[in-house]
Amino acid sequence: MSLKKLYFILFFVFLSRELYSQEDTTYVNRVLQKNIIGKEFLFKQDQGSTRLKYLGNVKTKSGSVYKVINSTYVFGLYQDSQRASCRILLFDKSNKYIGRYEVGGIWYLPNSIEKNQLIFKLSGECNQTTKISFEEGIPDQLYVLCTKQSGDIFSFERE
């Protein structure tokens, strides 16, 4: 691969990420203001689309409350060559952005919040259910089971 081609690809990746984060902020604020748990919102752009789903709140023993949103940004010129960036976003009770977990794909986004735990119900080859508690605070890492013997780790990135 030529150096010129590599620079072009890197430029496109960084540009896509920057556009995504700018538009994502506006869309997330709309979803948080609506405060509808479980509803998925679709926002279309020229080069992709953003899907946001507000899962609800998790609480810590110390009384902190965090709002959880699944975020999927799908981009690509052609239907058969699209890619997705999937994140679990956390906000405080005032809707201030706290940070995120970048997850490996749509199948690794949590399905719901039950009894103050994030619930991951995977299907297909990954067929396990994982429950993550926030009672002790925001976990530095999430370990989401795929099979009984294996899973994936996703690290929290603070703003």
Which tens digits make up the pLDDT trace of 14-63? Answer: 444 444 443 467 889 999 999 999 999 999 887 788 999 999 999 999 99
Q: For position 3, what pLDDT does the model report? A: 58
> What percentage of the chain exceeds 70 in pLDDT?
83
Q: For position 1, what pLDDT does the model report? A: 57
When pLDDT is averaged across residues 116-122 and rounded to a whole number, the result is 95
What total of structural domains would you count in the chain? 1
Is the pLDDT score of 131 beyond 80?
Answer: yes
DSSP state of 143: E
Using pLDDT thresholds of 50, 70 and 90, give the confidence band for residue 2. low
Whether the Cβ atoms of residue 93 and residue 63 lie closer than 8 Å to each other:
no
Task: Name the β-bridge partners of 100.
Answer: 89, 157
In angstroms, rounded to a whole number, what is the distance separating the alpha carbons of residues 55 and 95? 14
Q: For position 17, what pLDDT does the model report? A: 44
Where is 97: in which H helix or E strand? strand 97-103
Q: For position 121, what pLDDT does the model report? A: 95
Whether the Cβ atoms of residue 135 and residue 116 lie closer than 8 Å to each other:
yes
Is the pLDDT score of 114 beyond 90?
Answer: yes
Is the pLDDT score of 13 beyond 70?
Answer: no
Using pLDDT thresholds of 50, 70 and 90, give the confidence band for residue 8. very low
Whether the Cβ atoms of residue 138 and residue 90 lie closer than 8 Å to each other:
yes
Is the pLDDT score of 139 beyond 90?
Answer: yes
Q: Which domain holds residue 37?
A: 3-158
pTM: 0.82
pLDDT tens track for 57-107: 999 999 999 999 999 998 876 777 778 899 999 999 999 999 999 998 888
